[in-house]
Structure 1
């Protein structure tokens, strides 16, 4: 992987992880058009994902600090209940990740037709949010589990994780600000869990990437992720997801015709 490729992939990962346009789908398309042959390099993928996790922590640092403070008070209150709903939402992806990980990885073969179709699904989900009226509903354990299922579906390339979880939360009558916050915080658990699993199972031992592309990918993913995460919170509050629905539909059709 060259430094320029690492730069482009880092920016794409950071932006599309939080914007509802599917990071996996865009990376698959980028690999195809850039002719990158080592797209399955686990270490680079892990590096840019950790970078986006850190950008999430930066944006929500006050929320996370407050939740941790309440957690270690060892009392059942709104904060500990919120943490419990976050953990509860990770159950579906935990089950799928442990039992079907190899099957999921096998899907990432650069199949632009499949990616394009999934982008159209993302477009449809985002378009549905236009018909949702403003609501003040809270995220219950039941809703958290359903949002977690939506996150699991986003393991398919082309299904946006943030798009699927935010759209599902809004369709479940969740408050816009709460849904966006929950969507971005819930991703910390599966990404950190997957990183830990890769380390303890020794999956990274077979990887061989130069440090400079890794560093470039990390920095660009972190900065673009920080900007995208901050921007996306404002977008959800204003209810402007329809523009991303149109974008996903266009990119999806391009991918289908380019397949």
Structure 2
């Protein structure tokens, strides 16, 4: 992996991790276009995912500190309830990670047909979130957290956007837009950190000689900086109800991916 490839893939990861267009789907497309297998470069994958986690922590730093303060009061309050909601949302993706990890990894083989159809699914979810209207928006409850968690678990498929699926599901359930954005971005922190920890502990880095320090650093920094921008932008767009452009984008890219596979 050279400097330019690392820069491009870092930017793609930073943008698509937060914007509802599927980071996994775009990295699969990137593998085909650039001839780089990101999944085989475990150190690079860990680096760029860690960078986007750091972006989330920076953007939501005050919220995270407030959650810890409330949690360590050791009583039932808004912060404790929010942490409980996040833990419930992690159950579906935890089940997928423990029991279906090998099956899921089998989907990451550069199959543009699968990526294309899954991008169309993302486009459909985003469209439905704008079509389905609710007279009054409500706070997220425990059932909502589980349903949004199921949406996150489905987003392990390349082409289904994690942020798009969770945000669209929250909006379709009639939840408050600012809370949906906050919940969607904070709920992913522990699963990503957990996945990275497992990769580091059990991963085989013996074949990583081809990935130098410079590509890793470039990928990390570009993913972090772009991730900061994308996270803040996405929060603003959710509040402004401007997700239609992402639905159109996913539909167009998904159609192109399908056509490329067929032709």
TM tier, smaller = over 0.9
Residues 18-40 of structure 1: per-residue CA shift (max 9 Å, x gap): 00000000111111011224542
| 1:138-157 equivalences in 2 (<5 Å) | 138-157=139-158
| 1:216-227 equivalences in 2 (<5 Å) | 216-227=218-229
Q: 2:105 aligned with 1:82, yes or no?
A: no
Paired position in structure 1 for 2:119: 119
CA distance in 2, matches of 1:205, 1:91: 32
Paired position in structure 1 for 2:33: 33
Matched-pair contact (CA < 8 Å) for 1:31–1:39: no
Q: How far 1:200 sits from its partner (Å)?
A: 2.5
Paired position in structure 2 for 1:95: 95
CA distance in 2, matches of 1:203, 1:19: 31
CA distance in 2, matches of 1:105, 1:246: 28
Residues 115-146 of structure 1: per-residue CA shift (max 9 Å, x gap): 00100000000001112335421111111011
Moved over 3 A (4+): 202-208
Residues 76-134 of structure 1: per-residue CA shift (max 9 Å, x gap): 11110100100110011011101111111111000001100100000000001112335
With the length of structure 2 as denominator, give the TM-score of the two structures: 0.96
Evaluate the alpha carbon distance shift between residue 173 and residue 38 of structure 1 in structure 2; reply closer, same or farther with a 3 A threshold: closer
Paired position in structure 1 for 2:255: 253
**How many pairs were matched up?**
259
Cα RMSD for the two superposed structures: 1.2
With the length of structure 1 as denominator, give the TM-score of the two structures: 0.97
List alignment gaps of at least 5 residues for structure 2. none
